[in-house]
Chain A
Amino acid sequence: MRGISLAIAIVLSALAGCGEVKKAATGDGAKTSAAPAVRLRATGSSFVERMMKKWAPALESQGGRIDYQATGSGKGIQDMLNGETDFGCTDAPLTADQLSKAGGADKVVQVPLVMGGVAVVYNLTDLKSPLNLDGSVLAGIYLGTIKNWNDPAIAAINPGAGLPDKSITVCQRADGSGTSHIFTTYLSGVSADWKSKVGISTQPAWPVGQGGTKSAGVASLVEQTPGAIGYVELSFALEKKNLKSAKLKNSSGKFIEPTLEAVTAAAGALKEIPDDLVVNLTNLPGETSYPVCGTVWAVFKKDLKKDKLAAVVKSFTWALSEDGQKMAPPENYARLPDAIAAKAKEILAKLPVN
């Protein structure tokens, strides 16, 4: 009995010590905001995870303490619909099915947060210059009709590249993913074959290939496997120096590398912005536009509790403002075009929040 009490006392004092040291380590000197921040639970796209982390301190001073778990867009949407989270982040806007589950399009709010793209990464260490790929070749690879790197279709757009005689290991997302949605939207737009055989989905029926979970999983799959090809969110490709990205052919016929400038150029080519802000950002016109772009949406129900709704609206309004958006490019995300950001802020302003 005594021994147990002693043990408990030791453990508790150790934890107390931890608390002190931790406070010092995190530099939590004075509280920055008067009211305690509302704890918001969120899950969703792994794409936006890093941005959320970077925004977290500033968002906390806006009143929302966001506990974000990167689980893939599919789970993000489901959790939000089930009420398990306060909001979700997804690379794919809600489908009609999901909207009806929420009780109708007027019960949910969808606002874009940042822009990004999907890069096609590959592992061919002997290749000197970046690989060129176009829509039909990419669709052929993912359909399984093009099986080897030295296939004539690939060689045709990569003259003199010296492609090896290696079979292509196709990598994709095994979990429900908004990135898959963006990628399959692009493929459906450039390949009628793809559109009829597979189509657009967050969980497509991939004809060939192996699956990794989240972009990090796909990135490490490709990294580990010579001769692999995969698609990941843009920021992953930009961060990793040893993962090479392919140049994709855009609608003007130019092969464009995935960069923030190319994504921003594509956004600038948007002519019309619908009221619900659901835009297809793949294959946009423009000489320097990158053809596979997308945005990350924050989705939440209008009937959240008052304090949570206020915190959510305030947080996202800040994220859409200049202060929030300017933090995006250093993290390898692209800013939203001003027109879209303005419309999104309008949507948020209309919500019944004092």
Chain B
Amino acid sequence: MSSAAPAVHGSATDWSSRALRTFTAGAACLFPLSLVLAATVLTVQAYPALDKLGWQFFISSEWNVAQGRFGAVPFVYGTIITSAVAMLVAVPIGIGAATYLAEIAKPPIRLAVGFLVELLAAIPSVVYGFWGIIFLVPLLQSLYGFLGLQATGGRGLFTAGLVLALMVVPYITAVTIDALRAVPVAQRQGAYALGATRWQTIWTVVLPNARSGIVGGGFLALGRALGETMAVAMVIGNAPKLPWSIVEPGYSIPSVIANEMPGAGDNLHRSVLVALGLVLFVVSVLINLLARWLLNRQIQPAQPDSEPSHLPPINSSNVKAALAEKSIPLPPVSAWPARVNRMMTTLLCLCVVALLVPLFHIFGQVTSAGAGQISLDFFLHSANTQVNGESRPGLGHAIVGTMLLVGWATLIATPLGILAAVYCVEYRKSPLARIARFCAEIMTGVPSVLVGLVAHALLIQTLGSYLAPHPTGWAGVFALAIMMMPIVLRTAEEALLTVPDALRRASYALGATSAQTIFRVILPAASTAIITGVFLGVARITGETAPLLFTAGNSNYWQPGLEDGIKPGFFVSDMSERMPFLTYYIYNYAMSDKIEEQHLAWCGAFVLLVFVLLVNATMRLIAGRNGPSASRSG
């Protein structure tokens, strides 16, 4: 990897190189700045509650808003239990599927199924929640009835845990595949040479070797599970209790923030909710750090097949054939290991199936319910459109709103992320580069609901009297840009590192300055990978709900510049108004009792899913298997 070679600089005395260094350093500074800002805002707003309630807050399980008695225990309990259930389900299945894909599957299957598993990571949270409500909750309801358990309606900690498991399993699978393929071939060869079956090799050699990578992947997934808001809020039951039975309703920290924060005043209630958010922040950051440390110890980015292709593949059957050819007597093959090998191969294959079945079910359900209802009205009407006095709503305004929000966030986050990546690569020894990279890694693990909280506190509360004291499109753009920048930084950095140093040296040898080298040689060479990284960021933020709930507000009308035809410049002037966004309607209408609104939610989910699918497919086509992916970039 070119990261081992010393960084090459051209002459650093001309003005363009100095300017480049300044600008890119400025961009890199934004990362520690935003992290510190987030931590500060959360602490400052949580302080009144912690001061007033003291350590009692952490051991009390009462939640009485009217009388001001708050306790964090039910929420911490719920968050822990749902994440634990998610891990118990996702880790075995994820590792099993990864083992099958990395060790047993033929390359075409590995590619195809690997892509499908990554799609699981790309599905937006509200769509999971929607699917959970429509399919999983009734299913579990009948299951509980069948098992004779107390009827709780199917919503509860276990339900939320299952949905979370589905959401985090792609992260485990992706990281485990990388870890497994990074195990040196020689280890496997040694095992086969000793007469091991494939399963024995996997179990005794490959998995133990990949242990720290697998554990790191597990912690990465745990970090995601802890911060998940929307899907959990839709199926957890929203009861601030401590049920000893996990099938009963409970509550989690992100869900209570999403549900109660909007109605909480500028007072103890609000401060308590932020305090809960602070707890979540600290825990997520710590777990994310642990995960990254474990991963950095073991993993390198996915290697192409490290076995030279002209040699025959090494596995137990080939070894046996080769030995037989040379008339060397084979050791007696005991039936039991062979049987275990066959059993485990089937089991691992079932793990893959266990992943793919829900994926196809979700896609199938959303498509059949959404595609069937879609009409031109959906795209051309707003939620308030009335035709001849009768209400004929659509979500066109929300689609335009999401496009505006995502478009502006991309426009802001991409150059900043790329500039910061340039700094981190070109001046990679400097402390700022290390700090920026570190902060970006932490920021990818921060739950999105907390980003929304911080953006609201900053732009609408504190600076509201100077900017606008109400939710605006700009506040939403700010929140989304904060989420997108670390993704762009990390993928751009990886992309720039793959550019061979020879290009740099050649450019400097011809007398180019740093700035010229970067902009004329290096960035173009890395452009494909950078673009796919941007796509990844776009796909991620398009599906976000929680940060926008607190910042962009929502509106049922078309943007003001679109009401009578298109006013030029509407994409700037309308941003200072409340901005509708698609995921808002999916979230709210999914839980609605009106059939008309549910249809709109399905259509919205369908449009969103198609968009995310297209972006991911394009990413795959452009960059190939070694490009960034939703589950690898965390």
Interface set of A (CB-CB < 8 Å, partner B):
12, 15-16, 18-23, 25-28, 39, 41, 53, 56-57, 65, 67-69, 71-75, 77-79, 81-85, 97-98, 101, 166-167, 169, 174-177, 199-206, 208-214, 216-217, 219-221, 223-228, 236, 240, 243
Contacts and interface: CB of A to CB of B under 8 A. Distances in A.
B557 to A, nearest CB: 6
B151 A169 contact: yes
Contacts of A226: 151
Contacts of B376: 21
Contacts of A175: 259-260, 262-263
B411 interface: no
A210 B470 CA distance: 31
Interface in B327-371: none
B556 A201 contact: no
Contact of A174 (B238, B555, B565, B588): B238
Given A84-B470, A210-B238, A212-B238, A69 B556 contact: yes
Interface stretch (B208-216, B488-496, B591-599, B614-622): B591-599
Given A169-B152, A224-B137, A71 B262 contact: yes
A212 B269 CA distance: 19
B460 interface: yes
Nearest to A170: B239
B562 interface: yes
Given A25-B387, A69-B556, 17 more contacts: A15-B400, A15-B566, A16-B565, A22-B396, A25-B377, A27-B388, A39-B560, A67-B557, A84-B471, A84-B553, A174-B259, A176-B262, A200-B66, A202-B263, A208-B241, A224-B141, A224-B153
Nearest to B153: A225
A227 B151 contact: yes
Contacts of A176: 260, 262-264
Contact of B593 (A26, A98, A240): A240
B238 A211 contact: yes
A254 B400 CA distance: 53
B151 A84 contact: no
21 contacts: A22-B381, A23-B565, A25-B380, A26-B386, A77-B265, A82-B266, A84-B471, A166-B151, A169-B151, A169-B152, A175-B259, A176-B264, A200-B66, A204-B66, A205-B63, A205-B64, A205-B67, A209-B239, A210-B238, A216-B591, A225-B153
B237 A85 contact: no
A74 B264 contact: yes
B377 to A, nearest CB: 8
B592 A220 contact: yes
B385 A69 contact: no
Given A23-B565, A175-B262, A223 B469 contact: no
Contacts of A78: 262-266
Contacts of B141: 224-225
Given A75-B262, A205-B66, A211-B259, A26 B387 contact: yes
B138 interface: yes
B65 A25 contact: no
Contact of A69 (B67, B469, B553): B553
B564 interface: yes
- Closest CB pairs A-B (n = 8): A74-B263, A176-B263, A211-B238, A225-B153, A205-B64, A201-B66, A174-B238, A210-B249
B471 A72 contact: no
Interface in B452-471: 460-461, 464, 469-471
Given A16-B566, A28-B564, A225-B141, A220 B380 contact: no
Contacts of A67: 555-557, 578
Given A216-B591, A217-B591, A41 B578 contact: yes
A13 B262 CA distance: 38
B188 interface: no
Nearest to B578: A41
B306 interface: no
A53 B391 contact: yes
Nearest to A75: B262
Given A175-B262, A199-B66, A203-B66, A84 B556 contact: no
Contacts of B555: 67, 69
B384 interface: yes
Contact of A82 (B396, B469, B553, B562): B469
B555 to A, nearest CB: 5
A205 B578 contact: no
A204 B63 CA distance: 9
Contacts of A73: 263
A323 to B, nearest CB: 15
B554 interface: yes
Nearest to A243: B593
A206 B239 contact: yes
Contacts of A227: 151
B217 interface: no
B427 to A, nearest CB: 31
A72 B265 contact: no
Contacts of B262: 71-72, 74-75, 78, 175-176
A205 B133 CA distance: 25
B379 interface: yes
B462 to A, nearest CB: 12
A19 B565 contact: yes
A210 B389 CA distance: 38
B154 interface: yes
A203 B65 contact: yes
Nearest to A215: B593
A139 B379 CA distance: 47
Contacts of A203: 65-66, 260, 263, 269
B501 interface: no
B154 to A, nearest CB: 7
A71 B377 CA distance: 25
Nearest to B403: A11
B540 interface: no
Contacts of B386: 26, 56-57
Contacts of A236: 593
Nearest to A147: B150
B62 interface: yes
A101 B269 CA distance: 15
Contacts of A211: 237-239, 249, 259
A225 B154 contact: yes
B155 interface: yes
Contacts of A213: 238, 259, 588, 591
A51 B215 CA distance: 55
B138 A224 contact: yes
A205 B65 contact: yes
Nearest to A39: B560
A175 B560 CA distance: 30
Contacts of B387: 25-27
Most central of A22, A176, A200, A208 by chain B CB within 10 Å: A22
Contact of B385 (A25, A209, A221, A225): A25
B1 to A, nearest CB: 33
A108 B137 CA distance: 44
Nearest to A49: B556
A26 B566 contact: no
B263 A72 contact: yes
Nearest to A227: B151
Interface in B150-170: 150-155
A227 to B, nearest CB: 5
Contact of B470 (A41, A57, A212): A41
Given A84-B470, A224-B137, A22 B150 contact: no
Contact of A225 (B62, B66, B151, B239): B151
Nearest to A204: B66
Given A67-B557, A74-B263, A203-B260, A83 B464 contact: yes
Contact of A68 (B67, B151, B380, B556): B556
Q: Which of B262, B264, B464, B555 counts the most A-chain CB atoms under 10 A from its CB? A: B262
Nearest to B141: A225
Interface string B554-581: 1111101010111000000000001000
B425 to A, nearest CB: 26
